[in-house]
Structure 1
Amino acid sequence: MGGGPEFPCPREEEPAGKDDNKHLWGVVDMGSNGIRLSVTNLAPPTSRILPTLVSYRLDVSLYSAQYDDETGERIPIPQDVIDTIIGGLLRFRVICNDLNVPKKQIRIIATEATRTAVNSEEYRKAIKNATGLTVEMLGKEEEGYVGALGVASGFSNVSGIVMDLGGGSTQITWMVSREGNVRVSPKGSVSFPYGAAALTKRLGDLKKGKSSEEGDKAVAKLRDEMEDNFASAYEQLEIPEDLMEQAKAEGGFRLYLSGGGFRGWGYLLLYMNQIKGNQGNHHPYPISLINGYTASKKKFEDVETLKKVAREAEDIFRVSDRRRGQVPAVAFLVNALSKSTPHGIKEAHFCQGGVREGVMFRELSQEIKDHDPLEVGTLRYAHESTNAMSDLIFNAIPKDSTKGGRKFPDSFNRHVVHAFTNVMYVHVPMNKEAASTAALYTTSTGFMSGIHGVSHADRALLALMLEARYEGELPPREVDFKRALENILTPEEVWWSRYLGEVGQLIGAIYPAGIIDEKNPRLKIDAEWASGFGKKHHKEGLRLIISITEVKKDKMMMKDTLEELAREIRKVGKKKNWVGGRNGWGMAIDYKIKEVNNLPGSLSSPTSKTNPTKTHHNEDKSTFNLFPTIANYCVSIASPRLFSKFGIKTTTTKMAQGTIKASSKSTAPTAKSSGRRQNVLGPKKGARTIAPRKANLVRNAKMTKKHSAGLISMTERTLGSKAGHLELLKGGKKNKDAPKEGKGKEKDVPEAKKGGTKKFG
């Protein structure tokens, strides 16, 4: 990183054509307990989740450095500490230079420890002279507001009390944030000198040189002071009446906690849940990410247990020795907080977001803030039919019933469903032994684990839906992990995740390439609440209605295939498969397959809304369309082999100048390249030339023969029956050039053996 005594010269000009650099930001959060340095890319369409390119921390406590170890007196920031910090900042400038971060977009944000330092001005001048960067100082109120924005960045919705526990101070305010629209107290925030490091020192000083009785009295006096100050803060902040009523109805306020002091407390709770199990059972808590973790009132306020764990545990994940030493002070603050909060505390939500995230979140437009983090984080895997598939999923959900009070859980909102359909094909190339397991881990340790702003409940929902979408078969060692994810949710949410995952499996089987022709769909899905079905006509639950186009001679056996897939969905409703067993949560499922003359040309659902972020990812369509394009390419390569296997003569397909051509004695017209993928199969008397939407993706994907063979194998498994694969490839379209029924000679298609219909996929 330079290796010399001087900082390497920055580039005089931004490289030509590097417009994306304007979205790069380098931010230094100069806190009291440590210094966090990061580079963030705010380029659309993923701006909302604040994608981080580089992030690390300097383990320097500016607060501790300002107190003499022997006398405890306040002193200026020592020169050796200043030199250490300047060295870290120079190294950070090298990183920013390597990543082409514009100098004007490198910011140093300082808080309490810098603001109150004896030699604050000299310290900031030394940094400016050495690095060329100006230190920006946040005032008390602004620090609280920016920290609150950091919390807002970490959740889709926030409604409650927000607290930031740093090393030197604590800020408190209220916040209501829904889809990026943030409301906070008009008074800003209230700041107290009760930071984790500051409170640790103060508690130690209160007992120093005093008898046990005198020390206890001094500590009790501080406790009373803190309780009074917190109670007064709630009055000053002018908490809205609706928020107060919500807290009263729910048994307390929701707390949203950020800052290193509270994160350490959260990691202690995580440690306990992973060692002793979650909610009293033997399944350890499955997710180790602090952002989005929620603790109940009982666990959050169990300060004695947490203090004991901090003292006795040999090694605690993500809790340093310094943080461990501050646990008694944090416990002291939590006690005071729980006693002074009006209506009490309902639960505590822990956040990764702080000043750094708040500064970045403030740079975003309101339009970007409106986006949902989970949906944005899965955009890169979306395909052209994502919205149509979301409509199919929503149509499989019955409308809320006003009579029986039956209602679909609010937790399965449109953002969760859009995210599900965005990534529904990611694991298709994997074999069956691995697909379900890989899908189960995607949100906690896989490619979606780094998405900022997703709650643990949403991570669990999406993971369970994806696991069920790939048949839900797991090796024995993964069953406990699945049970642990289920424990995060309610039994009702677990059951619905299984049901929707199975519906996703059906959709994936009928559309194995992930492409839906909305003008000519292969099926239509509806659902309704139902009763009086089953052998004894006494069952109650939901009915899934699947409509397909009526065919006089169903050689493709579409209806039979759907029957088998629907039976798999029906199994979710059997009592033995209910969440918690026969006496647990679940409902019976009935299904009906209707044959109609013509399917409607639109799949839109009144429940679903178009993916709001869909229009913002024109920057890289090739990425979003990668999976269906690979599937199309797979079909083109696989065709001769598959058709030969099933007794159908075809010519060899080949790649030529970005176009896949299938040559034969066909008299069919050549399909023009219209930007839409064409079917590999043409009229029955021949083949047709096709032009994929993004033929160059084949080259980008660098598909070797080995990879092609694997995809061919996957295609064979997915297409299933001998006859069924033709229906899927042809997309159910009528062939204008094909001879009418009863006229002309058709090419024979071998029928599947009786009773031998296979399930697609």
Structure 2
Amino acid sequence: MLPTVYLDRMDVSLYEVQHEKASEGRVPIPDEVIGRVVAATQRFQTTCEEFGTPPQNIYILATEATRVAANSETFLHRIHDATGLRVDLLSKEVEGRFGAMGIASSFSEPRGLTMDLGGGSVQLARLAADNTDVVLREPSPISLPYGAAALTHLLSGASTDQARDDLRRRICKDLKDALTRLDVPIAGENEAGPSLYVSGGGFRGWGFLLMEQHAIQPYPIPLINGFHVNTQTFQSSVSIQSNLEKAASDAKVFRVSKRRAAQVPAVAFLISCFAEAFPSISSVYFSQGGVREGWLFDKLSPEARGQHPLVAATAANAPQHYNELLDLLLNSMPLEPWRFDPAVPAKPILQAFVQMLNVYSALPKDLRAASALHSTISGVLAGAHGVSHADRALLSLILCERFGGTKALSATDQDLYERLAQLITPANGWWCKYLGRVGAVIGALYPAGTYKEQRLLTRADCRGDKMELKLWMCQNAWERYSEALPAWLEVVQDAAESIEKVGKKKERGTAGYQVEVEVIAERKTRSEVGG
């Protein structure tokens, strides 16, 4: 919900620098590393000053690797002496809660089990979210000492098959005990199991490796947050073996560093143990959120946390008379599919679309459709936190259709359009085309987003697979410039033809509706139309 104004990171693992030599056990954080962290903190402090951040609004959080360090107190004092800033050293319980809240911040209404994979430990929690708040189920979270770096060290010491089998049995038992304590429901024979939401660098690296193997290639959205796979893909032996081979090879995989690649065997081992301990997970979602995001998310009011992320991210672009324009769009859908058909994009997607309706109108015509298509991937909405890949695809495709669709795209972007469309169902894709083209009519008649006059009324009815859409050009709104009405009618007629084409068999296949559009110029009011 909170827009990020600056983001940076320092590539160091405080856990790993304390365990560089497994035979020596844990060692204090080296002075050289402390010096680097102090310098990075000073640079962060300077950046905050340049952005006008009040000193009292600067927070530094420390987690497990600092909490267990032999020289933790010295480390924290060095930071305070250099910057004057106090470091909040989080307890294990508070760190686990913020980690789970960070995952919750990454999705709209997440429900299920979370796993936050750090360097030294993995945190498990159950969470449930509705449209007002996020709830962690007690005794969430539970911490187990099987982080990516810790498990890498454990595996390096398990040099025989017997030792690895013993380690597997121990981890499986600990996972089963944790899941029992969390009272995670086990799905029945014909029931879908709970969803799993994963976070942490090790899991994110695994997610990027799975992107490399995805059926859609190249995968169209280069963001890990919101990436989703079924449980078979997440934990299959084929995926594990393929990822191990990729990690062992010199082939570069997008966003997988050498350090993360070295941890892939440990992550694969943990995933195989989890699959044995709890095989009924149905879907797996990857999250970018962690302790930092969870700490910020926890500071928001329940009402703010309950907002859909795309609605929040597009609110600054909302036209002056957003509600009236949204009504025009909603009234262009028959009641039956709008209320009950899961293929229709959810209302938050439509709200975000109307808020972005005219954003690209100022661009040269050559760029509008392409800019709209890229909006949620590498454009103005790319940084929106908490958006699933399916929702990104839906909004991008609707916006692209509003500005001409594939006919207005280059060959390269037409390919991107098709790959994004594969992330949603064919029925979803049909509604994107229909709603985007209706949006083009609304945008043409209300280019500034102001509803000073009732220029247009919409109403749709549905009979079986046939939809009738009526567009009323309200003559009473055009009396001041009646000579311009024929020109506006021509614009709307052209748009109506484009909407009707969506209903042709070639475009709709078996997923959409036949569409008949009638453009009517007469005196009408909203109450007369019934919209």
Using the size of structure 1 for normalisation, the TM-score is: 0.65
Asked if structure 2 preserves the Cα contact closer than 8 Å seen for 1:547 and 1:594, the reply is yes
Contact 1:391 1:603 in 2 (8 A): no
The AA in structure 2 aligned to 1:576 is K
1:74-473 mapped onto 2 (5 Å cutoff): 74-207=26-159, 215-239=160-184, 250-273=191-214, 277-278=215-216, 283-301=217-235, 302-341=239-278, 344-400=280-336, 407-409=340-342, 412-472=345-405, 473=407
- 1:59 matched residue in structure 2: 11
What is the Cα deviation at residue 250 of structure 1? 4.9
Q: In 2, Cα distance between the equivalents of 1:470 and 1:264?
A: 36
Question: Deviation per CA, 1:624-668, whole angstroms, max 9, x where unpaired?
Answer: xxxxxxxxxxxxxxxxxxxxxxxxxxxxxxxxxxxxxxxxxxxxx
CA contact (8 A) 2:127 2:135 kept: yes
The secondary structure found in structure 2 opposite 1:189 is: strand
Q: Please tell me whether Structure 1 or Structure 2 has the larger radius of gyration of its CA atoms.
A: 1
Cα gap change, 1:250 to 1:500, in 2 (>3 Å): farther
Question: Which of 489, 507, 525 is matched with 2:424 structurally?
Answer: 489
State which of 502, 516, 519 in structure 2 corresponds to 1:590.
516
Q: 1:603 to 1:194 in 2, by over 3 A?
A: farther
SS of 1:53 mapped into structure 2 = coil
The answer to whether the 8 Å contact 2:122/2:146 transfers is yes
Query: Does the 8 A contact of 1:550 with 1:597 survive in 2?
Result: yes
Decide whether aligned partners of structure 1 residues 360 and 502 sit closer, same or farther in structure 2, where only a CA change above 3 A counts: same
**1:289 and 1:180 mapped to 2: Cα distance?**
26
Give, in whole Å, the separation in 2 of the partners of 1:507 and 1:479: 25
The one-character-per-residue Cα deviations of 1:75-129 (angstroms, maximum 9, x if unpaired) are: 2222222222222222222222333322232222111111112222333233333
Q: Any gaps of 5 or more consecutive residues in structure 2? A: none
For 2:527 and 2:344, how far apart are their aligned partners in 1? Answer: 30
Structure 1: gaps spanning 5 or more residues = 1-47, 208-214, 532-539, 606-761
Distance change (3 Å), C-alpha of 1:602 and 1:108: farther
Displacement after TM superposition at 1:233 (Å): 1.1
Shift of 1:171: 0.2
Q: Which amino acid aligns with 2:24?
A: G
Q: Aligned equivalents of 2:339 and 2:451: distance in 1?
A: 31
How far did 1:406 drift?
A: 9.4
Question: What do you get for the CA RMSD once the two structures are aligned?
Answer: 2.5
Give CA deviations for 1:508-561 in whole Å, capped at 9, x if unaligned: 2222333222xx411211112125xxxxxxxx3221122333689986336565
The alignment status of 1:505 with 2:446, answered yes or no, reads: no
Q: 1:250/1:392 Cα in 2 relative to 1: closer, same or farther (>3 Å)?
A: farther
Q: Comparing both structures, which one devotes a greater share of its residues to helix?
A: 2
Aligned residues: 521
TM-score with structure 2 length normalisation?
A: 0.92
In structure 2, what is the Cα distance between the partners aligned to 1:318 and 1:550?
57
What secondary structure, in the 3-state scheme, does the structure 1 residue paired with 2:28 have?
A: coil
Distance 2:528 2:298 in 1: 40
Amino acid at match of 1:308: E
What is the CA-CA distance between 1:139 and the residue it aligns to?
A: 2.0
The superposition leaves residues 207-248 of structure 1 with CA deviations (integer Å, 9 ceiling, x where unpaired) of 1xxxxxxx1111111111111111111111134x6xx56x87
User: Distance in 2 between the 1:326 and 1:96 partners?
Assistant: 33
Given the alignment, which residue of 462, 465, 471 partners 1:546? 471
> Measured at CA, do residues 231 and 486 of structure 1 come closer, stay the same or move farther in structure 2, by a change above 3 Å?
same
Shift of 1:287: 0.5
Contact persistence 2:318–2:356 (CA under 8 A):
yes
Asked if 1 retains the 8 angstrom alpha-carbon contact of 2:343 and 2:427, the reply is no
CA–CA distance in structure 2, aligned partners of residues 313 and 272 of structure 1:
17
Any conservation in 1 of the 2:319–2:448 contact (CA below 8 Å)?
no
1:248 and 1:425 map into 2 onto residues whose CA distance is: 49
Separation (CA, whole Å) in 2 of partners of 1:561 and 1:317: 45
Q: Percent identity?
A: 38
Sort the Cα spacing of 1:230 and 1:52 in 2 relative to 1 into closer, same or farther, 3 A: same
Distance 2:503 2:438 in 1: 13
